[in-house]
Chain A
C-alpha cells in the first residue's frame, strides 16, 4: 500500500511539473504518458497482483519500458536517438538468438545473415510497393526470415552443437554469394536504397519545438516506431519464454531424452526454435534498414554474426534483460571504442585503433564464457539474490 501511495505521489509531482514547464499541447501528451506509466506501476508494485496476473505483469513491464523510453526519446539529441534505434534493433536480434540458445540449447553463428535476410526483404518490399505502410515491410521481413530459418532449421533437427554451429557459419560465409546470385533483386554488391525515407507525421512535428529540423522529428519518429516494434517483440518473447513451448524447449536443452519421453517432439521443437529465432533476427535487421534508409551486403558479413554472439554471451544467454544489456552495449560500442582510442592516445587511423573493437569483443567473449558463462544479467541476478537473502535474514 505504501508503494502505491509513493507511485501516486510521484504522479502528482510529475503532472504539476509537466504543466508548469511544458507548452500546453506537449503537456497533454506527457500527462497522458505519465498517467499510463503511473497506473501500470501502481498495479506492478503489488506482489499479489503480479502473482495473479503473469501475462498482465509482462504487458505492464513492456508498456512501462516503451512509454518511458518513448517520452525520453523526444528530449534527447539526434545522436542519442540514433544510438537508441541501433540498440533497439540489436535487442530484437539478441532476443531471437537468446531464445534459440537459452531455450533449445542450439547455437547459431549465422544470425548476422538472418538479419541481412530481413533487411533485404524489407528493402525489396519497400522498393516494389513504395506506398505500403512500414508495418507491412516489417511483416514481409519476418516472413522471409522465418522461411530461411525453416530451411536451415531442417538439418538442425538431426544435428548437435558443433555441427550446427559450423553449418550456420557456412551460411554466414555464403550469404554474400547468395545475395549476388539474386543480384537483380538485391542490387548485388552495392545493395539497395529505400525509395522514400520515413518522415514524421504532422502531429509529431507540431508537438516538437519549432526550432527542430524535420530530420530531428524524423529521428524521434523512427525511435518511436522502433520502440513500439521492440515492445511487441519483447512482450511476445517474454510470454514465449514462460509458455508451454518455452518450457518444453528448455527440457530439450537440458535433457533431450527426457523431453522425448515426456512427449516433446525433438525435431519439431528444434525447427520451431530456429524459425522463431530467425524471424526475430530478420525483424531487427529490417528495423535497422528502415532507420538507415539503405542496405548493403557488406554489413551482414561473418563479423556481424560473431558480434551478435558476443553481445548475447556478454549480456547473458537466455534472458530478456541480457538481450537489452547486449543492445545497450552495441549502441554505445562505437563511441566507447573511440573514447578508449582517444584516452590511450592511439592514432585513430592506425591499425590498432581500427582493430580495437574486434580485440575487445573477442577478449570479452572468451573471458565471459570461461569465467562468467551467464553474462552480466546472470551476475546481476546472483548479486540480487544474495542481497535479498541477507535482507530477509535481517528482517527475521
Chain B
C-alpha cells in the first residue's frame, strides 16, 4: 500500500473537512486515519490516506489539493509518507 499524509492548517471555517473529503472521494483516495484539533482558532488536521489507486498521478493530485486549499483559504499539503517515517522511525 502506498500512503500519503495530508496536512491542513489555517483559520477555522465551515466545511473544511467536507470539501477535502469530497475531493479525495472524487479521486478514489481512501482515508485511513484523521486527527484534528483547533488551537487558538486555528484549524489543524492530519490525514493518512491510501494513494495506491492514484500513485501514478501523485504530482498532479498534490497540486490540485493545494489549489483547493487556496480556494478554502487554508494551507493544504500532500506528501508521501516516507519523508515522515524516515525521519521519525528507526
Partners in one complex: no
Query: Could you list which residues of chain A lie within 8 angstroms of chain B, going by C-beta atoms?
Result: none
